[in-house]
Amino acid sequence: MRLENYQFIQEGELVHDGVRYEDLAQEFGTPLYIFDEDSFRQRLRAYKEALRSDYFDTELLYASKALLTLAVARIVAQEGVGQDIVSGGELYTSRAGGVDPGKVYFHGNNKLDQELVFALEEGVGTFVVDNRQEVQRLNRLAQEQGVVARVLLRLNPGIEASTHEFIQTAHVDSKFGENIHDPEIYAVIQNMEEASHLHFAGLHSHIGSQIFEETSFFQAATEMMEFATKVQERLSLTIEEINFGGGFGVYYTEGDTPFDVVEFIPRFLEHIHQEAERLGVPLQKVTLEPGRSLVNASGSTLYRVGDIKTTLTDKHYLFIDGGMSDNIRPALYEAKYEALLANKADQASVKNYTVAGKLCESGDIIIEDLPLPEAATGDLLVVNGTGAYNYSMASNYNRLPRPAMIHIMEGKPRLTVKRETYEDLLHLEL
Ligand code: LLP
């Protein structure tokens, strides 16, 4: 397993910023989501800094679907970062954490009336309208509230980035956004511009997630800028802002080749600036909304090894005390992970294990063919790269209580989400 910069081997054991995994397991139990707060804060700062531009106003928005808790929302607020939300629940958490609502962008292909009203009441800064029907609905609700909502239109530039089909978002038949090649697209924008209680500010695109090719982002940016020129010419209005989405790929296992986002951003801004000059788009504001690349490497999951079984055909199963209920990604996207035994971190691997969860489903396999030293019941398995889309997609399948989460900052662990109890499983039930 590739170690993160907060992980070290000390006296034969893997430690997190000096903290022993065994001590964490004793104090907080397993499975346990561990989140390295220092590296998350550093990444937020580095992205923000990289986004500073002489050409445009810029805003970093954290795509909070990747990981959102009250503690994470507080960090976003403290670091002065904006937030991409996709539901009333995310907005509620954002507000509880003190994030400036003016810096919140509300996405979603079917925002409910009650969610839109809540967002209007809370003063959400920008609504990213997903389809033409939403235009009228939002306008009516804004009118009822006596406010003007700032809106971007989510567009689908038709770029097919190479990523898993389920996390592609910009193909022609996508449920998200309006297609750039739709003949009625100008009429949709005209309606937004003319709506009495909407302020049409610009465009949005998000080409997918876990993307490794920089060129896809450059291409999509050019498409968007070219489209912006056409809108300006046909409708004689100005595109103030373009939000270019998120989707930057991260490292999970060997073979993943992410680019350095902090190094990429200034070149990306330069590209946008040049296209703006070439095409005559007086763009004032550029926003980016990465999720995964901000949090994934800060998160890992700690499991206790239970029974170990070898099949007739010599397959070695290593069973853990969690599984697809805390990490659905291998089952859903064939996602791959790396892991090691924290208490045997300096020992050589001797065989391949299949790490299987404890849920009633054959597909509940977290890692296939993981090379490890001879494993034993009671060992501690650390799976890296679980910061994004693990906790946020966790379930109570098989009525497993969801794990606790801790943050580690300056070598000190702090509980941020309590472990669910059996009583919690019943707390809404009558
Ligand atoms: N903006 C929009 C409009 C999005 O739809 C998404 C992700 C993002 C930003 C953030 O993308 P990121 O930087 O995190 O790649 N559950 C899947 C990922 C779904 C992503 C959905 N949209 C997974 O576990 O891989």
Are residues 301 and 193 both part of a single domain? Answer: no
385 alpha-carbon distance from chain centroid: 12
Residue 178's pLDDT is 95
Residue 341's pLDDT is 98
Query: 3-state class of 408 per DSSP?
Result: strand
Q: Does residue 75 lie within any of the structural domains?
A: no
Model confidence pLDDT, tens digit, residues 383-426: 999 999 999 999 999 999 999 999 999 999 999 999 999 999 99
Residue 168's pLDDT is 54
Q: Which atom of ligand 1 is nearest to the CA of 204?
A: 3
Residue 429 has pLDDT above 60, yes or no: yes
Is any ligand 1 atom within 6 A of the Cβ of residue 247? yes
- Domain range for residue 316? 7-36+297-425
Confidence category of residue 375, pLDDT binned at 50, 70, 90: very high
| CA contacts within 13 A on the Cβ side of 382 | 30
Q: Does residue 124 lie within any of the structural domains?
A: yes
Residue 224 has pLDDT above 80, yes or no: yes
Residue 163's pLDDT is 57
Taking the C-alpha atoms of residue 304 and residue 341, their distance in angstroms, rounded to an integer, is 10
Q: Does residue 77 lie within any of the structural domains?
A: no
Is any ligand 1 atom within 6 A of the Cβ of residue 387? no
- Confirm if 141 and 115 have CB atoms less than 8 A apart: no
Taking the C-alpha atoms of residue 321 and residue 251, their distance in angstroms, rounded to an integer, is 25
Is any ligand 1 atom within 6 A of the Cβ of residue 64? no
- Confirm if 281 and 229 have CB atoms less than 8 A apart: yes
Question: Among 239, 270, 290, where does a domain finish?
Answer: 290
Are residues 275 and 345 both part of a single domain? Answer: no
Is any ligand 1 atom within 6 A of the Cβ of residue 292? yes
CATH number of the CATH domain containing 118: 3.20.20.10
Read off the pLDDT of each residue in 243-271 and give the average, rounded to a whole number: 98
Backbone torsions φ then ψ of 287, nearest 5 degrees: -125, 150
Q: In the annotation, is 122 catalytic? A: no
Are residues 238 and 369 both part of a single domain? Answer: no
Ligand 1 pocket mutation pick from 164, 205, 224, 292 by most atoms within 8 angstroms of CB:
292
Say which of 54, 254, 314, 360 is annotated catalytic.
360
Is any ligand 1 atom within 6 A of the Cβ of residue 169? yes
Are residues 175 and 231 both part of a single domain? Answer: yes
Residue 360 has pLDDT above 80, yes or no: yes
Residue 223 Cα to ligand 1 middle (Å): 20
Are residues 266 and 243 both part of a single domain? Answer: yes
Residue 170's pLDDT is 58
Are residues 200 and 276 both part of a single domain? Answer: yes
Q: Does residue 54 lie within any of the structural domains?
A: no
Residue 227 Cα to ligand 1 middle (Å): 23
Angle between helices 37-50 and 261-279 (to 10 degrees): 20
Rounded to the nearest 10 degrees, how much is the dihedral formed by the CA atoms of 114, 120, 126, 129? 40
Read off the pLDDT of each residue in 41-48 and give the average, rounded to a whole number: 98
Residue 162 Cα to ligand 1 middle (Å): 14
Backbone torsions φ then ψ of 75, nearest 5 degrees: -65, -45
Ligand 1 pocket mutation pick from 47, 61, 65, 84 by most atoms within 8 angstroms of CB:
65
Q: How many structural domains does the chain have? A: 2
Is any ligand 1 atom within 6 A of the Cβ of residue 67? no
Q: Does residue 246 lie within any of the structural domains?
A: yes
Confidence category of residue 174, pLDDT binned at 50, 70, 90: confident
Query: Residues of the chain with pLDDT > 90: what percent?
Result: 95
Are residues 149 and 254 both part of a single domain? Answer: yes
Are residues 137 and 280 both part of a single domain? Answer: yes
Confidence category of residue 164, pLDDT binned at 50, 70, 90: low
CATH number of the CATH domain containing 362: 2.40.37.10
Residue 160 has pLDDT above 70, yes or no: no
Q: Which atom of ligand 1 is nearest to the CA of 289?
A: 9
Q: Does residue 91 lie within any of the structural domains?
A: no
Taking the C-alpha atoms of residue 10 and residue 4, their distance in angstroms, rounded to an integer, is 14
Instruction: Kindly report the average pLDDT of the chain as a whole number.
Output: 96
Read off the pLDDT of each residue in 201-227 and give the average, rounded to a whole number: 96
Model confidence pLDDT, tens digit, residues 282-338: 999 999 999 999 999 999 999 999 999 999 999 999 999 999 999 999 999 999 999
Are residues 213 and 330 both part of a single domain? Answer: no
Residue 169 has pLDDT above 80, yes or no: no
Model confidence pLDDT, tens digit, residues 118-135: 999 999 999 999 999 999
Confidence category of residue 377, pLDDT binned at 50, 70, 90: very high
Q: Does residue 2 lie within any of the structural domains?
A: no
Model confidence pLDDT, tens digit, residues 73-103: 999 999 999 999 999 999 999 999 999 999 9
Q: Which atom of ligand 1 is nearest to the CA of 335?
A: 25
Q: Are strands 351-356 and 316-320 parallel, antiparallel or unpaired?
A: parallel
Question: Among 235, 263, 290, where does a domain finish?
Answer: 290
Whose CA is closest to 210, among 272, 153, 261? 261
Question: Among 290, 306, 325, where does a domain finish?
Answer: 290
Read off the pLDDT of each residue in 136-146 and give the average, rounded to a whole number: 98
Is any ligand 1 atom within 6 A of the Cβ of residue 389? yes
Are residues 145 and 239 both part of a single domain? Answer: yes
Read off the pLDDT of each residue in 1-22 and give the average, rounded to a whole number: 97
Residue 207 Cα to ligand 1 middle (Å): 9
Strand arrangement of the beta sheet that strand 19-20 belongs to: 7-10, 13-16, 19-20
Are residues 284 and 307 both part of a single domain? Answer: no
Tokens of 408: 């580690």
Are residues 262 and 320 both part of a single domain? Answer: no
400 vs 57, 127, 175, 225, 422, CA distance in Å? 46, 36, 32, 48, 8
Residue 43's pLDDT is 98
Is any ligand 1 atom within 6 A of the Cβ of residue 204? no
Task: Report the run of H or E that residue 221 belongs to, with start and end.
Answer: helix 214-235
Q: Does residue 85 lie within any of the structural domains?
A: no
Cβ neighbours of 414 (radius 10 Å)? 12
Residue 296 Cα to ligand 1 middle (Å): 12
